[in-house]
Amino acid sequence: MIKIGIFNFLSSAKKTIKNAKYAKMMNGYTPMFSQFGNNVYASDIVQNAISIICNDMSKLCPKHIRIDPNNEMQTVVNDELNRLLKFGPNPLMTTSDFISKIVFQYEYNKNPFIYPTYEKIPLDNNKYKRYYTGLWPLNPTNVEFLEDVTGKLFVRFYFADGEPYTLPYEDIIHWRKDYGLNDFMGGDEEGKPNNKGLLKLLNANDTIIQGMEIGVKASFTVKGILKINTMLDDEKQEEERKKFEVKMKNAENGILPIDNKSDYIPLKIDPKFIDKDTMEFIDNRILANYGVSRPIFNGDFTEEQYQAYYEKKLEPMVISLGRAFTKTLFTQRQLEIGHEIIYYQQGLMYMNTTNKINAVDILTRIGTLTDNQVLNAFGYPPFEGGNVRKQSLNYINRDIADQYQLQKSVVKGKGDNGEQS
């Protein structure tokens, strides 16, 4: 089997660290973690909820920006990192594929790991610059945290082939969900998804669905009992049953002729199902584990409902994702001068048309949006010369307004003293 992409690069990292030992956790546990617990993804509700989150997050536009510390102005840095984020982090994935994959890992096992591949560009004084060539989501089966004699932290990954790959932890983008109980990993105290409560709900939901299926099948299969009034051996019973079934199939008028040797006793099947409110209660509890409301799940939501979903669920993910990338991809010096990875959302994409028009009208009148940005908000292509901001003459600079008011006040004061203005 040919190893492609990330595994070619990781092969150089298979070297062992001399005198390495397991890193110490605050609670005394050994930091060895096995992905994953019981498979909650077998549930169709969980699958659909995670799919919704992945689809929404995959619409983000990641960018390498620099924020000027002096005036807080943002500029996009057009380097190799920004090209990777815009056009595809690696040869196997588009940007949307990449985001969707790491969001799935974030929701499923709480700990997506991304490894940035790079080339070393020599600089003066025996230093080098990293030229990033790819961003690769990892899918390890086991993870171990190690430290060398200097206290430097390493992470050892085991994949499906069973081979270990040891890398400096500072080189790994590690995005954690529910980080708190474990010193290194998101999830529970063992660094695994804490799905005990969710599994109880899923089991209850599955039991109800299975019960409904059995009830429906029973209502269609068992119609009644054929009572034969004479003693028959097994062969005769089978013969009588087949003759009776033929009569049932041929009874087009609903009248079933039988002789005096047998009686047909119909059974009334009345399966009882769980009421709708109970089913919705269980479904809503399952969805709450993923921050997805029922209107969002059904795709029938208002603008206010989506805004609540974005602010409570998506926005914290967007912020923490950008920070995880920023922490790993830049040097301390780059961080100090304002380099960041930001995941931008698609502006006014989820507003209804009326509110979108009102928002664009206000932002245009105060000179915030260009003509092309207005077109983009409604899904239209830009035009040449459209990157110009226009502003209503009813608005002026705040400093000019203050200066104007001050002049009026001075003039009025002179007039009150009887002086000519």
Q: Where are the domains of the chain?
A: 6-193+291-332, 200-276, 348-414
Contact 111, 191 (CB under 8 A): yes
The string of pLDDT tens digits covering residues 74-99 is 899 999 999 999 999 999 999 999 99
**Position 308 pLDDT exceeds 50:** yes
Judge whether 100 and 93 are in contact, CB under 8 Å.
no
What would the mean pLDDT of 199-207 be, rounded to a whole number? Answer: 67
The pLDDT of residue 361 is 83
Q: Which helix (H) or strand (E) holds 369?
A: strand 366-370
How many CA atoms, within 13 angstroms, populate the side-chain half-sphere of residue 283? 20
Please report which residue ranges of 70-143 form alpha helices under DSSP H. 80-87, 95-109
Residue of 208, 121, 122, 117 whose CA lies nearest to 165: 117
Mean pLDDT of 20-27: 53
Q: Which of 108, 140, 114, 95 is nearest to 40 (CA)?
A: 108
Closest CA to 249 of 268, 269, 270, 223: 223
Per-residue pLDDT tens over the stretch 341-358: 999 876 666 666 777 788
Strand (E) positions, 11-163? 21-22, 32-34, 61-67, 74-76, 113-122, 128-138, 142-147, 153-158
pTM (two decimals): 0.69
Q: Write the pLDDT tens digit of every residue in 33-44.
A: 444 345 665 677
Q: Rounded to whole angstroms, how far apart are CA atoms 309 and 54?
A: 14
Cα-Cα-Cα-Cα torsion 389, 393, 395, 401, nearest 10 degrees, comes to: 120
Q: Are 182 and 191 in contact (CB under 8 A)?
A: yes
Going by pLDDT thresholds of 50, 70 and 90, the confidence category of residue 133 is very high
Strand partners, 115: 136
Structure tokens at 159: 């994949």
